Structure 1
Amino acid sequence: MVRSFSSQNAPLSLLFSVLIILNIIICQTNASCNIKDKQILLSFKHGLTDSLGMLSTWSNKKDCCEWRGVHCNINGRVTNISLPCFTDDEIITENKKNKTHCLAGKFHLSIFELEFLNYLDLSNNDFNTIQLSLDCQTMSSVNTSYGSGNFSNVFHLDLSQNENLVINDLRWLLRLSSSLQFLNLNSVNLHKETHWLQLLNMFPSLSELYLSSCSLESVSMSLPYANFTSLEYLDLSENDLFYELPIWLFNLSGLSYLNLGGNSFHGQIPKTLMNLRKLDVLNLEDNKLSGTIPDWFGQLGGLEELDLSSNSFTSYIPITLGNLSSLVYLDVSTNHLNGSLPESLGNLTNLEKLGVYENSLSGVLSHKNFAKLPNLQWLSLGSPSFIFDFDPHWIPPFKLQNLDLQYANLKLVPWFYTQTSLTSLNITSSSFRNTSPKMFWSFVFNFSFLYLFNNSMSNVLLNSDFVWLVHNGLSGSLPRLTTNVSIFNINGNNMSGSLSHLLCHNIKEKSNLKYLSVIDNHLSGGLTECWGNWKSLIHISLGRNNLTGMIPHSMGSLSNLMSLHIYNTKLHGEIPVSLKNCQKLMIVNFRNNKLSGNIPNWIGKDMKVLQLRVNEFSGDIPLQICQLSSLFLLDLSYNRLTGTIPRCLPSITSMIFKNVSQDQGVLHIVDHDIGIIFVISLSLLAKGNDLTYDKYMHVVDLSNNQLSGRIPIEVFRLTALKSLNLSQNQLMGTIPKEIGNMKQLESLDLSNNTLSGEIPQTMSAITFLEVLNLSFNNLKGQIPLGTQLQSFTPLSYMGNPELCGTPLIEKCKKNEAPGEDTNVMAKEEEGSELMECFYMGMGVGFTTGFWIVFGTLLFKRTWRHAYFNFLYDVKDWFMSRWT
């Protein structure tokens, strides 16, 4: 009966359900935004910097439920705000993305006054401070008073990747303690928040906590127990944590994901790790953990991911790891492990990733180790002591996508050519003897990632997105590249011929080449005019080749170019004006060539590195250099520059300490398609050595020119400088006492000038100084006392005959107090100036008086007669007196 009734009324029930759904949709569509919520959102917007109008729809003219990123419930109450900023930059400078289009300014906690808000995502924006309310000042130290009103029931809060956001106190989060389940503060600066753990320990509902790259230093070793009863995901990676692993960490029995990588933990892994029975993912990569890998790891039966790479583990790989039947990811690479690869690992049938390279493993490696791993997709292995013994007819059960081989003989790994699913190949320090070059290059033609380092092989046409062929003994002409190639590095080979073979062939499709480096080869000829085909280029490095001719005008068509390195070649002529069109250019490295003419005055305002050392540039240093406010390396040494040092150098604000960020001096190039970050290194002559730096120092080097005049006092306002070299010029005058302001200096060279006077006492305050050269000047007096200046050898002061005191052999007179010579010299100079003024006045007075008297006698007859009558009367009187 019931069945019959239900069957007969099914269409009616379905119609009724549809009507309800339509009614809900209509209600939700027609529901207008709550007035209070709207005012809160407008107030929140008022405190933001929105340069490109990301919140242009947030206005009174539109219902707030229709605003960008805002979602409401059927009653018009705001429940969800999602405004992440999307950046797809290929360049990261100073470890920062380009966020000019993102929200910036102050993050106002008034947003939490939205009563129904439960989801807030403002990730990857550019907030810098947190403010309690619109009426409060920017927070530097949060008080216990948080303004009026209750916070909403937010369960999801994401402020991650706001790299400039500094939070000194997290106590404002306590208003969310009863509801918060997801908290992501990755890359937010929490350096001064030392009680973060005790505070977040009060969040009983928290299930996911992400605090990666937050500059955390404390993990509260004294805390015996953490009350994260619901916590499943914990990420503390890439911080400054430097302790043994804390005890409370292993009381989190509900954890399924733990990432502690990229810290400085040390010691052994405690047995209490066994308490984390539910752990699925354990990442301890890149710490300083030592000792042996515990055998009891094999009892963590539910573990799916285990990353112990880049630590200091010794001894063997535990056989018990073969008991982790759920294991999908295992990486023990870059340790000090020895012994053989356990055959028990071959029982991990679910394993997809296995990494054991960069260890000291030994023993026989054969198909038996991998015969039961059908799911393997990523394999990384290699050790100088491995003995490869694979069945030449063995066909693996797996289909690899990524393969890393070290110290391998490719002939002894015949199954390599069966891996037709491979897209990424990394072969290092391996042998290609008795292998077919044609077969190899044909096999790898369509790989997206090809990294070959320190091998011995030959090359042909290349098609991979990523091509890294460094130090492989390759010879012949440069290969041709298809338009698929994005990264091409063939440094340190024996390539010969011209660049035209690489650049001047017909390209029908748009090129994707971003990174081109051919350093340390035997290339010759000119730079060609074919650069117009490669407008996608961001980085070019052509150093240490036999290239000749001039810099071609066609390089000015590279509108995306940011880093240009053409050094240690035989180029001559002037820098073409066409490079002015490369408005994104940040690094120009033309050192060690024969370039001439004046230093360009059109250099782009975003320039960070200008290195023109060892060329034949002449003329004055252009004042336009002072407009390069972001410059942190200025090297014009070993040229023929004349004139004086510009007084406007303090306009380069990046060289003033208060404007220096922690990561300034780093240029990264990022390939998002393959997830690779390249740090652009640079060779600097600093501290007396020519070294390669990944993080550049603040350097001014104007040495070995023909500069004259005094050293401007303004130079010593560049307080962020670590190296200053003005040697081998014609500079005169005294060393200003303001030099003591440059407390960051590590290298100072003022030698081989005509500087005079005493060494300022203020120099003893430069405590980081490692290299000092004041030799061959006209300095005099006692070397200022203090451990710093006395720690250098006499070579730092030689060639100044009137200098005395430690470390020189010449002792100063006992009755001479430090600075006495300076006072005497000052008095002598003062007296000398007075005498000069006196004699000059006498001369002018005599001349003026003579011409007044003589001119009057010459032109006025009556005065002339009276004058001669006076002389006759004097004569008569004189004669009468003596007769």
Structure 2
Amino acid sequence: MDASPSSMKLLKFLLLCLLCTMLFYSVMCSSKIHCNEKDMNTLLRFKTGVTDPSGVLSSWFPKLDCCQWTGVKCDNITGRVTHLNLPCHTTQPKVVALDEKDDKSHCLTGEFSLTLLELEFLWYLDFSNNDFKSIQYNSMGSQKCDQLSRGNLPHLCRNSTNLRLLDLSLNYDLLVDNLHWISRLSSLQYLSLEGVHLHKEIDWLQSVTMLPSLIEFHLQRCQLENIYPFLQYANFTSLQALNLSGNDFESELPSWLFNLSCDISYIDLSQNKIHSQLPKTLPNLRRVKFLILSQNYLKGPIPNWLGQLEQLQELDLSDNFFSGPIPASLGNLSSLTDLALDSNELNGNLPDNLGNLFNLETLSILKNSLTGIVSERNLLSFSKLRWFAMSSPGLIFDFDPEWIPPFQLQHLTLGYVRDKLPAWLFTQSSLEYLIIEDSTASFEPLDKFWNFATQLKFFFLVNNTINGDISNVLLSSERVWLVSNNLRGGMPRISPDVVVLTLYNNSLSGSISPLLCDNRIDKSNLVHLDMGYNHLTGELTDCWNDWKSLVHIDLSYNNLTGKIPHSMGSLSNLRFLYLESNKFFGEVSSLNNCKNLWILDLGHNNLSGVIPNWLGQSVRGLKLRSNQFSGNIPTQLCQLGSLMVMDFAGNRLSGPIPNCLHNFTAMLFSNASTLKVGYIVHLPGFPVIMTASITILIKGNELEYFNLMNVIDLSNNILSGSVPLEIYMLTGLQSLNLSHNQLLGTIPQEIGNLEALESIDLSRNQFSGEIPESMAVLHYLSVLNLSFNNFVGKIPTGTQLGSTNLSYIGNPLLCGAPLTKICPQDEKSNNTKHAGEEDDDDKSELYSWFYMGLGIGFAVGFLGVLGAIFFNQRCRHAYFRFLHRMYDFVIQKMNSIY
């Protein structure tokens, strides 16, 4: 059948459309889309403020199309820039110091200019984990937008970009003094400024609530202080995730958090200082799925309304002060997968209906005051359980020895286990992390237990009563932590997988040679070795060459003897070496290649020779007390700018104190006690944080400090000469002990500069002169000893200086409180005062006679007048007539008034 004319027209039209389409695409494919010139200029302006040490932006130059630049992505049709994706990638070494930042020497740094917000089609902006130092506010094109830095947002500056994602997180040195510019980004859905330093006075909440499309909001670890606790409402309309963890909020829970109009699903306020109680009535959080409030100061009972959050998947209330029983209503949370109530003050029994949480994967209720019996009845329904942690002194574990759980755990923590370990423990073939603490349970049969432990990656036994011989035990876990278990016998065997080995405070004996020499490993991974507080004997052996991965060695408080072997000097990675309280002798020159040491503790031995001057600049704690070191204090030590603990007490050092100690720059700051010294071992799964310590004698007590203090102790030596003025420049110094030496000279007024000083002991020297008045301003000073010197004059007034006369005895020319000896000037003043008091007594007696005579004269005159009136008739009549006239006069005046 012939086609109709209309059909032919339609066919021709379709063919024409197809031809045009093919022509369009052939032209588009043959022609290259070029970057928009305006966008290119904006990117080049941004680049001018950026320092680029590794050449990441080397492709950013005008002759190359900006759509081809590194980190830039353009729209395929318009050529407008849509993505800027330039996060910095850093690699973590296996071992890193606690205060050691990621190596960002190759990352972008300098100024981060907000000129990028002029990119009208940009919707993805990620410069996370770089090293920017500041934000440049006033480079945003329009001069009217320059006022953004002062918080004034003209209409022309609003809605100027389509930006949906902004990520500047992990720029730890980036200082941002306001967030008003954020208000301009009306399309923003994801905002992360994690780790950025936001100014304490910033009005951050007002700025972000002006973003109607914001879905995820991350401001964790930003040093924020104001959470607006009394603000009733915050205008979040689309927010689903809020993370404000790790800030400095020290207030009540914010009211606006419980009155949100949006369906928020994720809330994290952990690691703050938030206090008060949770609301008593159900807030507007019915759709929340993750509620994390751990590590705060929350108190009171856990409210029942939590059981009405039907969509809740994770509830973390650990490390607070919640009290009372665990509410039975939590058993209604059928969607719950993670429940953490550790480290509170909860009491009572476990609610039976917690067994209704069929989806539970993590149940952690450590360190409370719970009571009652825990048996298989409590765990029957937890088929998905992977993490189980429970301990309270009042709980009794009573499981059927034939019971086989429906779950296979990866992590198990038990505490205060009596009698026997649960038999079902040995059915957990997937277990990787095992912690047993504070238990009196029998670990018998020990062979079965140690064989079971070989499957573990992390193995912790702390403060138990095992009493077993581990001479033939093989330890193969990555981290072995066997502390205070009264383990006996000689050294165990270890596999190459062991990274952390701690056998601290047990009853191990014999030589360490079997561990180091008989267990030779082709490639050792051992980083941490701690066998302090045992009964080890013999020498240190000379097999350290095979253990060059070691970072931490603690063999303190044993009975080891001999010289420090030369092979120990090959441990170039060593940061912490503790050999305190043994019987080592000889010189320490064998360690002169250990230049990365942070803490060297050789105290309480019989070591001799000169003070080591080969130490590297990273050393922070140097403890050599109670040895036989002699000679001068080497001036090379003054190069140790990081030194915080310098303890050379109880040696035979002589000569002067070097006048360059002011180069200990770490002692210029008074925040030393907030600094922890340690390191992080990055193992598969999660990092292991190891905190180091040092034992310091301060205020008469020798205590273990995990936060280092600024301490100089040169006591009990033969030091001579005067104390250099430079030592009084160490304004962060907290303890200074120069007692029992032969030092002389005076205490200068500059001692008042040591405002952080808590303890000073200058006793038993040859100091002279007066005690300076400036010592009265040392407000933190609690221990002072200036006894047995040659000080003269009056003791300055000040509460911290007058606590006891023992601080000043042995100075015969000192006077004033708290000594009973009165100063001459005070005695003269008292004499003058007494003379003045005698004059006052004379004047007082004269006044007394004067007033007495005045009184007598008045009485005589008054009696004379009365006698004249009553005994003389004429006078009496005249007197009564006078009274009568006065009476009539008064009555007349009263009548005229009324």
Q: TM-score range by the shorter chain?
A: 0.7 to 0.9
- Displacement of 1:437 in angstroms is 0.8
Could you tell me how far 1:599 is from its partner in structure 2? 1.4
Deviation of 1:619 after TM superposition, in Å, equals 1.2
Q: Distance in 2 between matches of 1:354 and 1:521?
A: 36
SS in structure 1 at match of 2:346? coil
Residues of 2 paired with 1:622 and 1:510: CA distance? Answer: 39
Equivalent AA in structure 1 for residue 73 of structure 2: H
Percent sequence identity over aligned pairs:
49
C-alpha distance 496-728 of structure 1, shift in aligned 2 (>3 A):
same
1:284-363 pair list within 5 angstroms: 284-363=293-372
**1:212 matched to 2:216:** no
Q: Residues 103 and 652 from structure 1, CA distance in 2 versus in 1: closer, same or farther, beyond 3 angstroms?
A: farther
Deviates more, 1:269-278 or 1:726-735: 269-278
Contact 2:416 2:440 in 1 (8 A): yes
Cα–Cα, structure 1 residues 470 and 591, in superposed 2: closer, same or farther, change >3 Å?
same
Give 2:73's match in structure 1, choosing from 71, 74, 82: 71
**Alpha-carbon deviation of 1:106?**
3.6
Cα distance in 2, alignment partners of residues 396 and 100 from structure 1: 52
Alpha-carbon distance in structure 2 between the residues aligned to 1:135 and 1:203:
19
Larger Rg belongs to: 2
Change (3 A) 1:692 1:102: farther
Q: Residues 756 and 404 from structure 1, CA distance in 2 versus in 1: closer, same or farther, beyond 3 angstroms?
A: same
Q: 2:526 aligns with which of 484, 490, 513?
A: 513
**Residue 494 (structure 1) aligns with:** 507
Note the alpha carbon deviations across 1:141-166, whole angstroms, 9 max, x for none: 95347999886433222222333333
CA change 1:758–1:24 in 2 (3 A) is: farther
| Letter in structure 1 aligned against 2:488 | S
| 2:264 is the alignment partner of 1:255 | yes
Output the CA distance in 2 between the equivalents of 1:600 and 1:32: 66
Kindly report which structure 2 residues correspond to 1:182-197, keeping only aligned pairs within 5 A, or say none.
182-197=190-205
1:301 Cα offset (Å): 0.7
Shift of the 662–277 alpha-carbon distance from structure 1 to 2, 3 Å rule, reads farther
Aligned residues: 797
CA offsets per residue over residues 291-311 of structure 1, 9 Å max, x none?
111122111111110111112
Aligned ranges for residues 309-708 of structure 1 at < 5 Å? 309-409=318-418, 411=420, 413-433=422-442, 435-457=444-466, 458=468, 459=470, 460-577=473-590, 579-657=591-669, 664=675, 666-673=677-684, 674-708=686-720
1:132–1:146 Cα contact (<8 Å) kept: no
Flag the 1:60–1:763 CA change in 2: closer, same or farther, 3 A. farther
Equivalent in the alignment of 2:866: none
Instruction: Provide, for residues 404-457 of structure 1, a one-character-per-residue CA deviation record: whole Å limited to 9, x for no partner.
Output: 011124735111111111011011122342621111111110211111111122
Measure the CA separation in 2 of the matches of 1:769 and 1:707. 25
Corresponding residue number in structure 1 for 2:787? 775
Partners in 1 of 2:139 and 2:595 — Cα distance? 39
Q: Which residue of 1 is the match for residue 209 of structure 2?
A: 201
DSSP 3-state at the match of 2:366: coil
Equivalent of residue 143 in structure 1, options 145, 150, 155: 150
Amino acid in structure 1 at the alignment position of 2:187: S
Further displaced range: 644-653 or 94-103: 94-103
**Match in the other structure for 1:873:** none
Contact kept in structure 1, 2:734 and 2:756, CA below 8 Å: yes
Shift of 1:185: 2.1
Give the Cα–Cα distance (whole angstroms) in 2 for the partners of residues 17 and 765 of structure 1: 88
Measure, in 2, the Cα distance between the counterparts of 1:62 and 1:119.
22
Shift of 1:490: 0.7
Residue 395 of structure 1: SS of its match in structure 2?
Answer: coil
Residue in structure 1 matched with residue 747 of structure 2 by the alignment: 735
Q: Which runs of 5+ in 2 are unaligned?
A: 1-16, 830-898
Task: Give the C-alpha shift of residue 379 in structure 1.
Answer: 0.5
- Paired residues of 1:274 and 1:299 also in contact (CA < 8 A): no
Deviation at 1:330, TM superposition (A): 0.7
State the Cα distance separating 1:721 from its structure 2 match.
1.0
Instruction: Decide whether aligned partners of structure 1 residues 566 and 32 sit closer, same or farther in structure 2, where only a CA change above 3 A counts.
Output: farther
Do the aligned partners of 1:526 and 1:549 also contact (CA within 8 Å) in 2?
yes
Shift of the alpha carbon at 1:760? 1.2
SS of structure 2 residue aligned to 1:543: coil
**Match for residue 187 of structure 2 among 179, 182, 206:** 179
What amino acid maps onto 1:143 in structure 2?
R
Give the aligned partner of residue 238 of structure 2.
230
Question: C-alpha displacement at 1:815, in angstroms?
Answer: 6.2
Deviations, residues 809-848 of structure 1 (Å, cap 9, x unaligned): 1122236999xxxxxxxxxxxxxxxxxxxxxxxxxxxxxx
Of stretches 484-493 and 761-770 in structure 1, the one that deviates more from structure 2 is 761-770
Helix, strand or coil for the counterpart of 1:369?
helix
Offset of residue 272 of structure 1? 4.7
Give the residue type in structure 2 aligned to 1:82: L
Task: Assess if the C-alpha contact under 8 Å between 1:559 and 1:583 holds in 2.
Answer: yes
Query: What stretches of structure 1 of length at least 5 have no aligned partner?
Result: 1-12, 819-883
Q: Distance in 2 between matches of 1:18 and 1:514?
A: 66
Conserved? CA contact 2:90–2:102, under 8 Å: no
Q: Out of 122, 130, 151, which is 2:135 matched to?
A: 130
Q: Is the contact between residue 483 and residue 507 of structure 1 (CA under 8 Å) also seen in structure 2? A: no
Question: What is residue 798 of structure 1 aligned with on the other side?
Answer: 809
Helix, strand or coil: the match of 1:468?
Answer: strand
Q: Any idea what SS the aligned residue of 1:738 has?
A: helix
**DSSP-derived class of the 1:555 partner:** helix
- Secondary structure of the 2:577 match is strand
Aligned counterpart in structure 1 of residue 178 of structure 2, from 161, 169, 190: 169
Mark the CA change 1:65 to 1:551 in structure 2 (over 3 Å): closer, same or farther: farther
One-letter amino acid matched to 1:602 = W
Letter in 1 for 2:97: I
Output the CA distance in 2 between the equivalents of 1:209 and 1:120: 15
Moved more, 809-818 or 770-779: 809-818
Give the C-alpha shift of residue 179 in structure 1: 2.2
Distance 1:149 1:599, change over 3 A: farther
> SS of the residue aligned with 1:338?
strand
Aligned CA RMSD, in angstroms, stands at 3.0
TM-aligned CA deviation for residue 364 of structure 1: 2.1
Partners of 1:526 and 1:279 in 2: how far apart? Answer: 61
Distance 1:711 1:680 in 2: 32
Q: Give the direction of change, closer, same or farther, for the CA distance of 1:271–1:773 in structure 2 (3 Å limit).
A: same
**Cα drift, residue 604 of structure 1:** 0.6
Q: How far does residue 17 in structure 1 lie from its aligned partner after superposition? A: 12
Report the CA distance between 1:76 and its aligned residue.
6.0
- Mapped partners of 1:663, 1:98: distance in 2: 23
**Deviation of the 1:50 alpha carbon:** 4.6
Deviates more, 1:340-349 or 1:48-57: 48-57
CA distance in 2 between partners of 1:420 and 1:347 (Å): 26
Any idea what the Cα deviations from partners look like across 1:487-506, whole Å, max 9, x if unmatched?
11110101111111111135
Whether contact under 8 Å (2:795, 2:814) holds in the other structure is yes
> Amino acid of the residue matched to residue 238 of structure 1?
G
Cα deviation for residue 41 of structure 1 reads 4.2
Q: Given residue 459 of structure 2, which amino acid in structure 1 is its aligned partner?
A: L
Using the alignment, how far apart are the partners of 1:498 and 1:18 within structure 2? 86
1:788 deviates by 3.5
Please, what TM-score do these two structures have when normalized by structure 2? 0.83
Q: Tell me if the contact between 2:595 and 2:614 (Cα under 8 Å) persists in the aligned partners.
A: no
Q: Does 2:813 align with 1:811? A: no
d(CA) in 2 for partners of 1:207 and 1:409? 50
Structure 1 residues 215 and 550, CA gap change in structure 2 (3 angstroms): same
CA positional deviation for 1:135: 12
Q: What is the Cα deviation at residue 381 of structure 1?
A: 1.2
Separation of aligned partners in 2, 1:208 and 1:335: 30
* Greater Cα shift, 740-749 or 96-105: 96-105
Q: What's the TM-score once normalised by structure 1's chain length?
A: 0.85
CA distance in 2, matches of 1:556, 1:50: 39
Question: In 2, Cα distance between the equivalents of 1:98 and 1:604?
Answer: 20
Q: Which amino acid aligns with 2:206?
A: Q
